[in-house]
Amino acid sequence: MSSDGPRQAYVWIWLPGAPEPVVAGRIDEQGGETTFVYGQSYLERAEAISLYTPELPLVRERIRPHEGLDAPGCILDGRPDAWGQRVIMSSLLGAAGRDSDPKDLGLVTMLLASGSDRAGALDFQESASQYVPRGHENATLEELASSARRLEEGIPLTQALDAALLHAASIGGERPKALIDDAPRRLIAKFTARGDTQPTVQGEFVAMTLARRAGLNVAPVQLAETLGNKTLLVERFDRAEGSNQRRAFVSALTILQLNELAARHASYWMLTQTIRESFTSPAATLRELFARITFNILVGNTDDHARNHAAFWDGEMLTLTPAFDICPQPRHTGRATQAMIIGEDGWKESQVAGCVERAALYQLTKPQAREIVERQIEVIERDWSEVCDLAELSEADRRLLWGRQFLHPYAVEGWTRR
């Protein structure tokens, strides 16, 4: 870890319905651990909410992270992931950043170097009294795509485009992306990556569109053309349209109190327990979660890890966010497993028949679960060609996706159609 980087930052929050942020407290990084303490002025606010009560309840004393974590999960949810870290390392270290370990910079440095328009309702500042947003630079979609491509190729960026990419550095994920302000909408632009061997961007568009048609609550998406490639535009659900309000949310990894290294132990059935206790509309949420699991299986999205699920936080209860990152994964073998465990017996096979056998964990009868899967298969088969036309997929790309990601034989093995 760098010895001369910042060791503390102030946490600012957009309270529910508020157009501007207020300072909530401070994080301090020392000895590989990041702690948090609320500010006295924040605790005295009548409208104050906790950043996330299971981790950071509204108390006066300094709070250490849960066992196994080096920082509170709700703070780590605001940390840049792989792509954002690449942008920051390039910005701070130049060419040397390609061969450096992001961990050497430390958490606070990463939070302060990334853009302020991060996911959720938190931001991190050097000041407790003055909020100064970072990285909000205007750039066209083509400029951002070109900038992202140059970063992938290791070519130095211009100062303006460097700042524009930093604007999106706080958004999670591994693929190149940028943030777009298309008033009144706020969008995440996901670019075609260098070295893609399949139409990843179009495949995600097809999966997200079919998911919505199958009845899932998903973030709206559309495709754009940039530099001869497709770009996926995803509407942000953590922003109130036409205003500066932001919605707080936490990842399933935070809800399950797991760190990145322990993410392989994350399980849907453990998440169901929290849903029963701490979510609004638990029965409907469990049904939606089950439907997302089976749909991911049917479209070949095995990257359904715990950071790809999230819930809004209003200070008291959790509410499942719209689905996002339903991205079919390249596949070269018959058998596959999901990233998260599905059954309490440790079962995680990418097969819908096994999900139906475990439907009771999601408060569903087997007939109810079968009905969900039947509808999903029907929609995928019925609307495949039409949605592929919308995505402008070639026949070769359709053959590449169909039967490998979408409705792979292993996914429906043991499934009997009515």
Average pLDDT over the chain reads: 89
- Confidence band of 93 (pLDDT split at 50, 70, 90): low
Helix (H, G, I), strand (E, B) or coil at 232: strand
Q: Is 14 inside a domain boundary?
A: yes
Does 395 share its domain with 264? yes
Mean pLDDT, range 25-42, rounded to an integer: 96
Q: Report the C-alpha gap between 104 and 89 in whole angstroms.
A: 10
In the predicted structure, residue 48 carries a pLDDT above the cut 80: yes
Does 309 share its domain with 378? yes
CATH number (domain holding residue 194) = 3.30.200.120
The model carries a pTM of 0.91
Does 279 share its domain with 339? yes
Mean pLDDT, range 57-63, rounded to an integer: 98
Q: Is 311 inside a domain boundary?
A: yes
Q: Is 17 inside a domain boundary?
A: yes
Q: Which of 97, 125, 153 is the last residue of a domain?
A: 125
Q: Is 411 inside a domain boundary?
A: no
In the predicted structure, residue 293 carries a pLDDT above the cut 60: yes
**SS3 helix, strand, coil % of the chain, rounded to 5?**
35, 20, 45
Asked if 361 and 171 touch (Cβ cutoff 8 Å), the reply is no
Helix (H, G, I), strand (E, B) or coil at 303: coil
Q: Is 66 inside a domain boundary?
A: yes
Question: How many independent structural domains does the chain possess?
Answer: 3
Does 395 share its domain with 253? yes
Question: For the ranges 68-82, 164-178, 208-222, 354-368, which has the lowest average pLDDT?
Answer: 164-178
Cα-Cα-Cα-Cα dihedral sign, residues 350, 291, 208, 255 = negative
Q: Report the C-alpha gap between 220 and 61 in whole angstroms.
A: 42
Does 278 share its domain with 222? no
Using a pLDDT cut of 70, give the percent of the chain over it: 88
Mean pLDDT, range 90-112, rounded to an integer: 72
Does 269 share its domain with 205? no
Q: Is 410 inside a domain boundary?
A: no
Asked if 331 and 197 touch (Cβ cutoff 8 Å), the reply is no
The residue to which tokens 């999900």 are assigned: 355
Q: Is 303 inside a domain boundary?
A: yes
**Higher-pLDDT residue of 143, 319:** 319
In the predicted structure, residue 183 carries a pLDDT above the cut 70: yes
Q: Which domain holds residue 338?
A: 249-401
**What is the per-residue pLDDT for 156?**
60
DSSP 118-152: -SSSEEEES-SS-----------HHHHHHHHHHHH
Does 87 share its domain with 186? no
- Confidence band of 178 (pLDDT split at 50, 70, 90): confident
Does 231 share its domain with 254? no
Q: Other CB atoms closer than 10 Å to residue 177's CB: what's the count?
A: 25
- 249-251: strand order across its sheet: 249-251, 310-313, 318-320
Using a pLDDT cut of 90, give the percent of the chain over it: 68
Find how far residue 123's CA is from the centre of its chain: 17
**What is the per-residue pLDDT for 170?**
57
Does 285 share its domain with 226? no
Does 284 share its domain with 394? yes
Helix (H) or strand (E) holding 206, with range, is helix 200-213
Asked if 24 and 38 touch (Cβ cutoff 8 Å), the reply is yes
- Confidence band of 318 (pLDDT split at 50, 70, 90): very high
pLDDT digits (tens, 9 = 90+) for 337-378: 999 999 999 999 999 999 999 999 999 999 999 999 999 999
Does 105 share its domain with 148? no
Does 266 share its domain with 230? no
**What is the per-residue pLDDT for 172?**
62
Q: Which of 96, 125, 154 is the last residue of a domain?
A: 125
Q: Which of 205, 235, 265 is the last residue of a domain?
A: 235
Q: Is 282 inside a domain boundary?
A: yes
